[in-house]
Amino acid sequence: MEHKRIERPGKQRDERVRRVRGSDAKGATTMHENRVFHFPGKARETRPAQGKGSVEAFHLAPHGWVPNNARLPVIVYRRALAPGAQDLARAFSERFEANGWPVRRFDGLFDYHHYHATAHEVLGVFAGTAELILGGPGGRVLRLRAGDALLLPAGTGHCLLSLAGGFRVAGGYPRGQQWDIRRGAPTPAELRIIQALPFPPTDPVDGEHGPLVEHWLAPA
């Protein structure tokens, strides 16, 4: 299916990409009950995904005003759930909820470059296909389709480039973390918060034995 490319991000937007009310307001992160979170420590080089060939993990370096995340890699789950055989929106919601990443929204994605400073984010694609740019302007182009999932550590730049087939995602976040929208460089204090932001000890897709355990938890 041919993708529809979005022209002039931030000005002309496909009507299927809906805004989230209050998205300009800064979010607040709750960090109590640390027993259910893991705090990242020293960074080390991420190893290639092992065992499960449908998983990709890669780091993104700081890029202009986009901080990305020096400690935690982006994780891409290819065919995290099999499309067509189930209600993907419900299936992603139940899976994320069970693993400590409850879904807060069922929606499209913003077609302008931004990042979240106060929350990590997992996206489960339950309809359509899309191309995203990760890492900020001129960054890495990633194609997603129904059944895929994407785990974005706080600070990771992302932007919708094109979409087709009624593209929609289920967006999940660690309990106690409220996502915000950032379109400018973080202050040194904000950058420290991004790098130290805790996360659940379970993978949003595969629970206790998923790639988060290997690529986020083990390197700490």
Which among 123, 119, 121, 120 is positioned nearest to 92, based on CA atoms? 123
Summarised one tens digit per residue, pLDDT across range 26-80 is 333 222 222 233 333 333 333 333 334 489 999 999 999 999 999 999 999 999 9
d(CA 184, CA 199) in angstroms, rounded, equals 24
- pTM surpassing 0.85? no
Sorting pLDDT into bands at 50, 70 and 90, what band is 85?
A: low
Summarised one tens digit per residue, pLDDT across range 103-122 is 999 999 999 999 999 999 99
Q: How far is CA 212 from CA 1, 53, 103, 158, 178, in A?
A: 32, 15, 18, 19, 20
Summarised one tens digit per residue, pLDDT across range 189-203 is 999 999 999 999 999
- Residue 218 is predicted with a pLDDT of 76
Q: Is 100 left (phi over 0), alpha (psi -120 to 50) or beta?
A: left
Q: How far is CA 7 from CA 76, 112, 140, 162, 164, in A?
A: 26, 11, 18, 9, 14
- Residue 49 is predicted with a pLDDT of 37
Q: How big is the chain, counted in residues?
A: 220
DSSP conformational letter for 12: S
Cα 60–Cα 61–Cα 62 angle in degrees, nearest 5: 120
Question: Is the per-residue pLDDT at 14 higher than 60?
Answer: no
Q: Across-strand partners of 203? A: 207
Query: Per-residue pLDDT averaged across 5-22, rounded?
Result: 36
Summarised one tens digit per residue, pLDDT across range 144-172 is 999 999 999 999 999 999 999 999 999 99
Within 13 Å of residue 132, how many CA atoms lie on the same side as its CB?
A: 28
Q: Across-strand partners of 207? A: 203
- Residue 201 is predicted with a pLDDT of 94
Distance of CA 125 to the CA centre of its chain: 11
Summarised one tens digit per residue, pLDDT across range 173-189 is 999 999 999 999 999 99
Mean pLDDT of the chain: 80
- Residue 1 is predicted with a pLDDT of 45
